[in-house]
Each structure stands twice: as C-alpha cells, then as structure tokens.
A and B are shown apart, each in its own frame.
Chain A
Amino acid sequence: MDQLFPSVGISVVRIFEKLGHTVDFKESILCCGQPAFNAGFWDESRDIAVRVLQSLSGEGPVVVPSGSCTAMVKNFYPELFRARSEAAVAEQLSRRTFEFSSFLVDQLGVTDLGSRFPARVTFHDGCHGLRELQIKRQPRLLLERVKDLTLVEMEDQTSCCGFGGTFAVKFPMISTAMGETKSASALSTEAEYLVSNDSSCLMHLQGLLNRQNKKLKTVHLAEVLASY
C-alpha cells in the first residue's frame, strides 16, 4: 500500500480526520508478515510480526484498509504466537484490530460519509475479509450512501479473484484463469469501476485488465469514500 497505492492510505486518513478522529501511522511497520506466513515460513513471519506487536502496543483501535492484512493480525497472529511469550500481546492486539469498513460501520456506527462518486461500480469481496472476518454487509452499506453512485453486483460475487499472494506467481496459470473468470463477471456488469476493500486483489485484477486493454478501472473502497 505504502509504495504502490499510497492514495488508499491518504484517503483513510482524510476520512477519519473528517470524522474528527486523530490518526497515527507507524512508520516502523512495513508489512504484517503474511507472505512468509502463507508460504509456510512461520519463523521468518514471526520475526516481522514481533516488531509489529511492539510498534502497535497500547490501547487504541488499529484500523487496516485491507481485509487480508487485518485477518493476519486479527486471526493468525494468535495462532502464530500460540504458547509463546508474546501470546497475550497478540491476543490483545487481535481484539483491537479492525478492517477499515467494519470499523466505520460496526465500531463508529457511520455509514454516510457525505461522499460523492458519480459512476457505475461493482464490488469485489476480498476473500480474507469475507470469510475470515465475515465482512460483506459493511462495504455495501457504505457504498449505498455514496451520492450518484450505482452499485451493480456481479455474478458469482463471492468467488476468489485468484491473487492469493505467492500463489499468483507459483501457479500463474491457475491464478490467471481465476482472474479471467472474475474480471469477465466484473466486465459484464458494465461498471466503470471495480471497487474492493483489498488492494492486493485489485493489483492482480488491474494487471490483468491492463494487459487485456480493458477500460474498467480498479479503485479501493477508501478512495471512493474520500471523494466528495
């Protein structure tokens, strides 16, 4: 997000500040350790995660604009540190970590941000947000309140886009086939924008769409909500 999609972070900051909250960004954190974790390298993953635990110590809520990274911290950190000295800290962090859209809707009780985004859009659920965190309702509630925005659901809306981290480069043929199916569903809605709460899915899909010279643009939910 930092290097490839800074506008997502900027949008998140703008939204919370508009709502009157203060935001802090931990410059010491680069990654949650999920790539190593998913590849089976749990020691290397812990090496990264330990420092995340240290940087994020404290009490306030931690909001992450990616279902996938949220799931890592919220669901997998406790498993990664099970029966280790950091277990309690990991559990504590897990409890106060939230995915961006669910934080807005479930914690702050906000659905209308006064945003305006005049376009026809379709929404892709990142799998981790959807199935690890059961986030499906929240982004839709938020999108429904955006002025001049038309939300069109695509066929097989909950199926995976095929990114899957290192899977995308280890098994590019399968990942591509999945992405093709997904982008075909998105294209057939005739939307102008493909919105998601996960940048990694969008990076994969945008890469495919660009290669196929399609006009459909991908954009993160936060960027839509930060448009006025």
Chain B
Amino acid sequence: MPDQETESVAASCWSCGASLGTGSPICSSCGKVQATSADADYFAVFELSRKLNIDTKALERGFYKLSRKLHPDLYAQAPVQEQQWSLDQSSLLNDAYRALKDPVRRTEYLLTLEGMKLEPEKGDAGKAARAPADLLEEVFELNMQLEEMRMNRKMGEDDPQLRQDLVNAKDQFEGQLRDNDIQIQNLWAAWDTAVDAGDPSQQDQLKTQMVASLDRRRYIRNLVRDVNETLES
C-alpha cells in the first residue's frame, strides 16, 4: 500500500494550493480529494463539537453527502494517489459514522478520545471484568445458580424452582440495565452542558462517571446474556 504519511503541517490543497479548513477531505476551491489529516477525529469528520446528543438524522444526511464526494467508486479512473486518498477518507468517514450513530459507541469513542480507559468487552482478553461493588452479592448468588443449572443440565435434570429463580434474577438485572441507561442519558445532557459552559473540572468528573456507567452497563449485559444462554441451552 502506498505511503499513508499524512502530517497536516500546512493545510493547503495539494492541487491548487488554496488553504483548507482543518481536516477538510475535499478542497473547496478545486474539489480535489485531500490526504487524511493525522489529527482528524470522528467528530471533526462531521464538523461536530465533542458533544453526546447528536441529531442522528442530520448525521445520516452528512454521511450520505460526504459519501457522494469521497467514495472510491468516484475515483475509479483517478490517478493512483487520489484513489488512495479517497480510500483513506472514505474509510475514515465510514468508521466515524459507525461510531457516532450509536449513542453508546459514541460515548465510548468520546471517552477514549478524551484519554479514558474502558474495560474490554468480554471475550477480548479472556475473562470478564470486575463486578461493580454494589452488585457483588447478587452476582455471587447468580453465578451459584447458573453453575447449579449447568450441572443439572449435564445430569439431565430440570429444577423448575431454579429456573424461575434465574428468570427472576434476569428480570431484576434487566431493570437495573434500564435504570443505568437513564442515568447514562442524564450524563450525556450534563456533559453537553459542561462543554457549552467550558467547565473542564465538571467534564473530568462526568467522564469518570460515564466510564463507570458504561462499564456497569457492559457488565450487566453480559450477565443477562449468560443467563439467557444458560436458560436456552
């Protein structure tokens, strides 16, 4: 693959020399595709500030509009270098759209961009994350029940009471998931306000809260998935 070194030293068009807006994929003077800029983040691709409530309809419109300018199909007959830039720009656009259109992935991306560290997805690096402190007892109980259920399965037995207990536990965790989602939504609104107010200490606090909230969400979702798998198997 050709060299992708794309240091954005002087932001000017390679073709006509006109000055470019930061991270501009296309020259507004001559319409030529540009190299991706090293500091282009997903929010910048859509010329958005780093806020969490996004108008997804407008995002989709922006995605289509930019796709019509950057997709490799439009550069099939172009010089190799422009083909490569179109490929880079269009993959950046697609990656950005994918991350931003889903609110949870958007939040995860923002937090990573802000230098926060999230727990890995289950399955990424072996075993799942630590249980949130307030859930320890319930999780311990649930794991015992899941283990018993699996043992029963192996022996070909069925314990209706145990099954019911698991369904109840699942319902309870799903309820917690819903509560957690409401909490996350409140954090999004608070974050956007803090961004508008330009309040960095408030932002830092919210980032920590969002990380905890997302980790909790991921943890509970995995639990629910485990219960479902055990009940269905």
User: Is B one of A's binding partners?
Assistant: no
Chain A contact residues, CB within 8 Å of chain B: none
- B: which residues have CB within 8 A of A? none
